[in-house]
Amino acid sequence: MITSEFLTAKLGDAKVHFERALDCKHTEFDDLYPYMIEHPQFFWYKRYVAWSELLTIVKLCEELGEEWKGQFTERQAEYIAKRVMSSRVLDEWYETNDSKEHVG
């Protein structure tokens, strides 16, 4: 039986995996395909794989009626809901304190 805790943990793992791929940090993917580092398209593909994993876990959460949005900012949840990994997602995944909406 899949528990809520299990799904929450898997969602957290998928988020970390995607963010490590965004930051060009080592992921499990590097261990599976070490020869890919030599190819320029590697980082794009690595991000695509991590994004696909994240979307798969989110889809499972939705199908099982589990809340998933709480682990993400509102903007990140919107990107995930749209399901398309665009350059905007890559560029704006991390919200910064210097945004116009920030009140200091």
∠ Cα 91 101 90 (to 5°)? 10
Query: What pLDDT shows up at residue 21?
Result: 92
pLDDT at 27: 85
> Measured between alpha carbons, how far is 34 from 31 in angstroms, rounded to an integer?
6
Global pTM exceeds 0.95: no
Q: How many helices and strands (H and E) does the chain possess? A: 5, 0
Mean pLDDT calculated for residue range 52-60: 97
Name the residue with higher pLDDT: 38 or 63: 63
What are 77's two structure tokens? 């949840």
Between 91 and 38, where is the model more confident? 91
Distances, alpha carbon 94 to alpha carbons 45, 85, 89, 100, in Å: 20, 14, 9, 14
User: Can you tell me the distance from the alpha carbon of 85 to that of 17, in angstroms, rounded to the nearest whole number?
Assistant: 15
